[in-house]
Structure formats: structure tokens, C-alpha cells
Amino acid sequence: YELIPQTADHYHWDQGNEHWAELKKNGITLPTDVAGGGHAHCGMMIYGADNWPEEYRGQVFTMNLHGRRINRDILRRQGAGYVGHHAKDLMRTNDLWFRGTDLGYGPDGGVFVLDWSDIGECHENDGIHRASGRIFKITYGKTKPLTKDLAKVNSLVLANLQTHSNEWYARMARRVLQERAVAGEVLGQVREHLFRLYSDIESVSHRLRAMWALHVTGGLEEEWLIKQSHDESEHIRVWSIKLLTDDGQVSGRALARFVEMAELDLAGLVQLHLASTLRLLPLDKRWILASPLVSNKRYADDPVLPLMIWYGINPAVGVDRAKAIQLLAKCKISKVRQFISRRLAGGR
């Protein structure tokens, strides 16, 4: 029927005037160079560390293979979700061998860049230069190196790392805590501390980290998660949905709450994540959640939400024509109406 379009509002090549294959024959043209260097990207990072200047935090970086550079996008809310706006490239090189393949930040906040280092085009398959890779590191000013092995740090200290300014520490600490929980270590005191962190701090990102740490160290009760679905933060409410369905199942209580949220909680990300849960429901249960989702036209022109709803109900439409017609009658999203009608008329 239709694929979800790219999240970015731009291309990194002269999409209107040249075919990407021409880059291989003719090299990068000036318009493509200005746009970002080419169509092929490899690796992606959302910077969440504390070494680079604050302006880069939360921005998207990706390696541009033909352009021999790092593209940068700025994420902003748009409609039900996000859109990526093109920003000035972070770096570029004249080294013809540079073929960036991935990037990521570490404990000191510096970013490691993996370079395939090969003069071949990105579809090269003759096996040349398989041992010429390089690793670069991009830092800003002085760095603070890792001084302790987190695997040997006290569990309460690991819990407190959920508020660290470098996301790397929070993630690694959660991983170690999860490993200890799986190994049978009693983490009752740690979990009590994480619950206090979640309740007492104002930062939504820190509250989410505490929630994730609680989830991986023993799980969270359904009743507690349903309570969080009433939180004032859209992101907390979204993660209550995600964790309530993390095992691929939707309980009766959770479904009842999701239907209520679909009717009353019109935050874009909430609507998107509710739509994404449709696929987890048995076909005969999808109608009850789809009905309130299609009954609101706030995001009718959104590039993603109507398609997410359609992907969830498509199999059900083919099974129960009567229910599909009932849903069609109350649907206020034109694209979903179109696809339901097409499926009913054509049988597929």
C-alpha cells in the first residue's frame, strides 16, 4: 500500500537533478557536495555524552560514504513524531581513502570513528584492502578518561550513574546491574534507591533511565506501569506503553488502558506507540483499539501515524469485512479510509 517515508526533510544529494548512480561515474557534483555529499550513509549516532559542546547533544550524526564526511541533523518534533533538519556537516576530509562506516561515543565523551579506508566504491566486492581500516577519535578540549572498571563497582554506585551527564555511563551501569540480577544477586536496596530516584528527580531523561534500570533488574508491576501512563510527561507515558508490552503480549487491563489513552491522550508519540501495539493483539481484538485511533483527525496528515494504524489493522480487514465496514464509517483519517476501501474492494 505505502511505505513510511524517511524522517529527514532533506536529501544529502542533488535528488532533483541527478541520479545517484551518476556519482560513481562522474564524481560528486557541486550541488550534491553542498547538500551533504551523497546518498550512501553508514552508521549513526545520537550524541549523548559530555565532552563535545552542549549544542551537539541530542543531534544525529551519520557517516556519508561518498562525501567523505560526517553529516549532522537536528531532530525536532513534527506532527506525531520527529523530523530531521539538515545542519552543517561536522567534518569532512580530502583523503580519497576515507570510507567512514560507524561512529560512537565512549566514557570520556570523545567519539570514535571507524574508517574502512579503501579507494573502492561502496559496492566493491573484489576483496582488496581488507586490512587497511583505521580508527580515529574526535574530542573537544581535555577529556576525563575512565578510571574504574564498572563491573567491579558497587551496585548502589551503578544506580546513581543513571544521572550521569554521559549516557555511556548510564547504559553500561544498567547492563552490569542487569547481569548481576540475572546472576541472582539480591538488588532490593538498589531497586528501592532507583524508585526514589524516579520519584524525586525532575529530569525526564533521568527518570527514564531509572525506569529502564528497574525494568532490567527485576521488572515492573503492571499496576505501577499503568499508573505511570497517567504521568504528565509524554515520554514517560510512551515508555509505560512500551514496557507493558515488552514481552509481546497485551493483557486485558493494559488493553483497557490503551483504549482509554487512544481516546483521551492525543500526544503524538502516545498515539504512535498505541498504533504500534495493534500488531501484538489477536486480529479480533484490534478493532477495539483501532476505533478511537481512527476517530480523531488531529494527525490525519501525519506521514507516519496513518500508516502505522493501517499496518496494524490490515490483516484484520481481510478477515472480518463487517467490522472493517463499521470502522470505515467512523474513520476520520483519509488515508486509512482509502486503504480500507481498497482492501475491501480488491480483496487484498
Lowest mean pLDDT among 11-15, 120-124, 162-166: 120-124
Looking at residue 86, what is its pLDDT? 94
pTM for the whole structure: 0.92
Residue where the block lists cell 503492571: 222
Q: Cβ(180)–Cβ(157) under 8 Å?
A: no
Give 243-280 pLDDT, tens digit per residue: 999 999 999 999 999 999 999 999 999 999 999 999 99
What integer pLDDT is reported at residue 288 of this predicted model? Answer: 98
**pLDDT for 13:** 83
Work out the percent of the chain whose per-residue pLDDT is above 90: 82
Share the mean pLDDT of the chain: 94
pLDDT band at 347 (very low <50, low <70, confident <90, very high): low
Distance CA 113, CA 43 (A): 10
DSSP letters, 319-331, are: H-HHHHHHHHHH-
Q: For the residues 70-74, what does the mean pLDDT come to?
A: 97
How far apart CA 298 and CA 81 sit, in angstroms, is 13
Query: Is residue 118 very low, low, confident or very high in pLDDT (cuts 50, 70, 90)?
Result: confident
> How confident is the model over 65-92, as a mean pLDDT?
95
Please tell me the distance from the alpha carbon of residue 257 to that of residue 270, in angstroms, as a whole number: 12
pLDDT at 31: 87
The reported pLDDT for the residue numbered 38 is 85
Closest CA to 4 of 60, 100, 82: 82
The predicted structure's pLDDT at residue 135? 96
